[in-house]
Each structure stands twice: as structure tokens, then as C-alpha cells.
Amino acid sequence: MPINETLVTEAERLTPKLREAEIAPRALVDAVPDPDAFQGWRMEPAGDYEGLSGRAFGKGESFVLDFGDHQVGYVSFAAEAVGSPPDAPLKLKLVFGEMPCEIGENFAEYDGWLSSSWLQEETMYLDVLPAAVTLPRRYCFRYMKVTVVDASPKYRARFADFRCAAVTSADVSNVPPLPDGVPDDLAAMDRIAVKTLQDCMQTVYEDGPKRDRRLWIGDLRLQAQANYVTFRDRDVVKRCLYLFGGMPLESGAVGACVFEKPHPHVDDTRLYDYSLFFVATLHDYYEATGDREALAALWPIALRQLKLGAERLDERGVVTDDPSWWCFIDWQGDLNKQASAQAVLIYCLKRGLALAEAAGDGEAAAWISETTHLASEAAMSRLWDAEQGVFVSGADAQVSWASQVWMTLGGVLAPAEASALFDRLFANPPEVGMNTPYMYHHYIEALFECGKSDKAWAEMRAYWGEMMRDGADTFWELYNPNDKKFSPYGSNLINSYCHAWSCTPTYFIRKYWNRTK
């Protein structure tokens, strides 16, 4: 599929200038093993940061800085020699960690299947001392460990002036106050959620600033929803939509993610749900901004996603299942995704209808209405198990939380029926659970949508609230309260602990508090 240069050029024009804040360390700490702490590590105070510049460090000695909160940015510091003139380079190892585990554990022992190159460490040499060092790479961290790997018998090293130039494209001054009456615990949750979004908002809406640092459409959709009630940016959302729209895959499907550097290009990953979410994201953007220029430019691309999505319906009107990684929904290896995908199609068709009407595209509107009807009917006739009173998915008729959540969001059941469905699920929980804040987001939204707002607030407090009790400065990519080291990548060291799709408590609080309380 050729790149649409007009869209990509406009996307590049919309690249924001990043805002910078200078952050100094707050304290010295040590990572201490503790079986009662989250993932087995806690931070222990190890002195005032101000005392650091009076100490000198020799071969094998180290210290850990605590920057007080999660940071995304560029680090600088000063180093000098104490003793004789430095007669050999100063060799340093720097480790950056969002979480205590990254400081406490040894990266050399990492054996997950994601590239170890995401682990944030540097080995560097200072040939000349004193030195003012500005590290060229961006790090994502609260803690920074500095180890003197080697100096020389004739000198030791002293350090000072650590700073992080923290970057974001988010305008913090634009965030409206919380609705009246939001209780303290939710206000605290909101603050962390807003910080999560802020740290992910760079020149695109990144999924995680530590890893993968890319624009994924699944993350973008939720970030944009949170953004409309907080930072109220429109240019960067528009840039992201234009990047996706301007660089489809061969088939015309919108790719699952795009890269910005060295020039914008689309990844070769296609996911059924993610392509469809282009429509939902455009819908939400148009609803928030009324930007008719964007609507005109992107509506044909959105319609194409719906057509491609509908092509996967079999003769019964059911989305064709597939054993490959064709649809995301959740990081849940046991999950059959057929029913969820069916519901995502319906969900996006409905948002597409609003766009077709706004764009004055009557032909598309008619097709969408017809297809929505077909897919919804098929969902009820083929995927609803009336006996159990749940949606089932795949050849083995799997019952999962995801299927019920998405069918609810797709509006396949009337709200009262969905509410009753959830009551049955609470009494008899499906075996296949939820692993990500991304899936939890949809679960919470489904609860609000079917009128179970008390349960929604309670579940937010149980899930994101538990992350807070476990020490979250920003909300995490992955969290299973029953398996706190859960990682789909084979190691919790590589999990992202500031992750876009986890920022939505602020969306719920700002959208639903006044409506439900």
C-alpha cells in the first residue's frame, strides 16, 4: 500500500515541541530483598542526596539515587577525581529502574524472550576528569544506580549535580480540576493516572516510555480518551491518527503500530481488533474536537477498516477464528478471541455509523447498519449459550471474562441483560481471567455501561488501588493481583511500569463520578 504523503507530511507538521522540567534526586536509597514487598524488593533510605558530593567511590562501589517520582528524560551529572590526577579512564555502569526489582536484580541473569536491549543500563568511560556528562539516550526511571566498575589505585571518583531533564508533550496547566466530591483515594489514583499519561505523551502517544516507546493503536485509543478529560491535547492525537491513516499495510488495513524514527514507517504487525480501533479512535477524536478536516481526510480509511473487518465474517456472520496472533484483546495465552473480536467489530461498526453520518456518507451508513445487525444477530444466535447465560468463544465454546466484557461494550445485550450477566459471572467466575490493565479498563467501562457503577468503583479500587498499595508511581503495563510477578515476556524485569493503557482511572473518575454519585 503506498504511503499517503499528504497525511504523513501533515502528521510530521504536527510534531509537538517537548516541554522540559529539571528534576533533581531526592534521596539515596538501597534495594533490599523483602519477601513481603511487591515482587520481593523494597527501597530503604540510604542517606541524603546532599551528602553524596562529600563521598568518594572506588572500584566496585556504588550508590542508588531516588528521583522521587517516575521520570522520562535525559540525565546529566558531574564527576571528578579525588586523589592523584586520574591516570586511567573512569569506567561506570549505570542502571535505570522504574521499580526496585530493576535495581536489586542482576540484568545479566535476565532470560525473557523480549530483547534484553530494553533493560536500561549503560557502561561508559570518562577519559577526562572532571567531566560534565549528558547521556544521549532517554531513560524511564525513578531510581538510578551508579557503580564505579574501575577507577585506578591512584584516585577515587566523586559525583554531583545529577539532573533529569524530564520531557513530555502534555501541557500540565491544561488539566481541569477534579469533579467535586471525588474522595481522596480516587484523587490520588487520578494523580498517578494523569502522571502515567503525561509520561507516555511524547512526540506520539507512546505505549510505554521504557518499552516499546512506540505508537500502538490500542494504547492510543485509551490515552486519547483520558487526554480529552485531562490535558486536552488535540494536535498529537491528530498526528497519531494521520500516521496510522497515512501508512496502511499492504491490504489497506491500518497497522497495529508505527515507528517515528528515522522516518515514519509502519510495523508489519496486523491485529484484527487494532485495525478496527482506528475507527473508534477517529470517532472519539471527532466527538471531542469536531475537526471536519480530519474527518474528511480519514473517513475513507476508517470505512476501509470496517469493510476489512466484515470480510472476516463467515457465512453465519461470525468472525472466523484463528490459532495465530491475529487479534490482541489481552495478554492472556489461554484466551480464545473469537467472541471478543466479534464484539469489537460491532463496537467499531456502531462508532463508524456516527462517523458516516457526520461525513454525509449515506451509502456507507446503510451498509454499516446492515452489517451491525447481521453481526449482532450472529453473536446472539451463534455465540450466546442460553443455558449457561454467557457468551462462548471458539470451537471449544470457551467462557472468558473478555468475551462477556466486549459483548457488553458492543451493546449486544441490553444494559439490564448485561447487568444480569455480570451478576452470574460474579457468582460463578469464568476460568479465563484478565491480565492487563487494558482488559481491566474494558471490564470497568462495561460495568459503568450496564449500570453497575458501585461495582466499577470497587473494582477500580481493588485493581489500580492495589497497584498503588504495591508502590506504583505510575500505572503498569501488566498486573495480576494474584500473580504479582506476572509477565508475558518471561521476566518481570522487562515489564513496563508506566504504560499508556493503564492510565484510564482518570478517564473513569472524570467521566463517571458526577454521573454515578
Chain residues in the site for a copy of itself (CB under 8 A): 59, 84-85, 87-91, 113-118, 122-123, 125, 127-130, 137, 149-153, 211-212, 214, 259, 261-262, 265-268
Nearer to a copy of itself, 181 or 262 (CB): 262
Longest distance between any two alpha carbons in the chain, whole Å:
83
What nine digits make up the cell of 329?
484483546
Question: Measured from the CB atom, is 111 or 396 closer to a copy of itself?
Answer: 111
Please give the Cα distance from 265 to 288 (Å, whole number): 27
Given a contact cutoff of 8 angstroms between Cβ atoms, the answer to whether 18 and 202 are in contact is: yes
Nearer to a copy of itself, 268 or 293 (CB): 268
Q: Name the 3-class secondary structure at 226.
A: helix
Distance of alpha carbon 410 from alpha carbon 342, whole angstroms: 9
Q: Which is nearer to a copy of itself, 128 or 395 (CB)?
A: 128
Report, in angstroms and rounded to the nearest whole number, the Rg of the chain calculated over CA atoms: 25
CB 451 to a copy of itself: min, Å: 41
Residues in the chain: 517
By C-beta, is 81 or 498 nearer to a copy of itself?
81
Q: How far is the CB of 206 from a copy of itself (least distance, A)?
A: 13
Nearest 5°: the CA angle 194, 351, 426 is 65
For every residue of 452-484, DSSP letters joined together read: -HHHHHHHHHHHHHHHHHTT-SS--S---TTST
Q: How many CA atoms lie within 13 A of 284 on its CB side?
A: 23
Specify the residue, 19 or 91, whose C-beta has the smaller distance to a copy of itself.
91
Nearest partner of 215 among 14, 511, 35, 515, judged by Cα? 14
Query: With respect to a copy of itself, which residue has the nearer C-beta, 88 or 462?
Result: 88
Q: For residue 93, which of 125, 134, 57 has the smallest C-alpha distance?
A: 125
Candidates 208, 218, 211; CA nearest to 257 is 218
